[in-house]
């Protein structure tokens, strides 16, 4: 049994992830920004906690005693300023807070193209996200945490398959349900520590792909 802090608890992936974790006996504390989402999150079996990380709230009092942190939050587009505030700055603060609290395991849900040569046009509305995520991912790599960075491709609402492909060609389309399953499996697979795992839909069972 793990005690997991799930940041971005009302996101589409997080709402699929929390039931997977609680079903196997994990205790999930889901951090959300909007009090209106408390009931939705509680229905997953997680314990909702309202914090405004974008506004500067921290997790110093929440993290001690937990075993892992999962970052599944995001600004969801909008202004570049908000993207940097959430996807970069708030994410970095949670990493530092986890290290300070002695919570060593940290799983970051990033995206398939989070590399220095991501190729996103500076004039694209997606560019701030690409820059913010790479900065957060690189910050995580520099910590002493037992980190895993997950890079799914284009997210869909398709049903889960339980199978993925690593380093796929193209946009790496993959269902959010399979992303949630990859996060859950990564938390308990030590061979994912210290890896950036790019994946999309495929034919390899998730556990086998992550163990490779």
**Dihedral of alpha carbons 73, 79, 83, 84, sign:** negative
Question: Catalytic residue numbers?
Answer: 129
Count of beta carbons in the 10 Å neighbourhood of residue 39: 9
Mutual angle of helices 91-101 and 127-142, in 10-degree steps: 20
Give the separation between CA 16 and CA 198, rounded to whole angstroms. 20
How many Cα atoms within 13 Å fall on the side-chain side of residue 80? 9
Q: Nearest CA to 28 among 75, 53, 62?
A: 62
């Amino acid at each position: 049994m793990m005690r997991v802090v799930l940041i971005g608890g009302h996101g589409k992936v997080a709402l699929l992830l929390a039931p997977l974790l609680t079903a196997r006996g994990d205790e999930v504390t889901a951090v959300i920004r909007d009090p209106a989402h408390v009931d939705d999150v509680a229905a997953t079996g997680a314990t909702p906690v309202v914090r405004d990380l974008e506004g500067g709230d921290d997790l110093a009092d929440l993290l001690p005693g937990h075993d892992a942190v999962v970052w599944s939050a995001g600004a969801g587009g909008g202004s570049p300023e908000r993207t940097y505030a959430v996807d970069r700055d708030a994410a970095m603060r949670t990493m530092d807070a986890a290290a300070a609290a002695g919570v060593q395991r940290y799983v970051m849900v990033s995206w398939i193209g989070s590399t220095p040569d991501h190729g996103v046009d500076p004039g694209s509305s997606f560019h701030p996200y690409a820059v913010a995520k790479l900065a957060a991912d690189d910050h995580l790599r520099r910590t002493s945490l037992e980190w895993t960075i997950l890079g799914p491709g284009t997210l869909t609402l398709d049903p889960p398959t339980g199978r993925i492909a690593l380093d796929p060609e193209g946009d790496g389309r993959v269902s959010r349900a399979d992303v949630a399953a990859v996060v859950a499996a990564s938390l308990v697979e030590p061979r994912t520590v210290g890896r950036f795992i790019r994946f999309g839909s495929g034919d390899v069972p998730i556990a086998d792909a992550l163990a490779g």
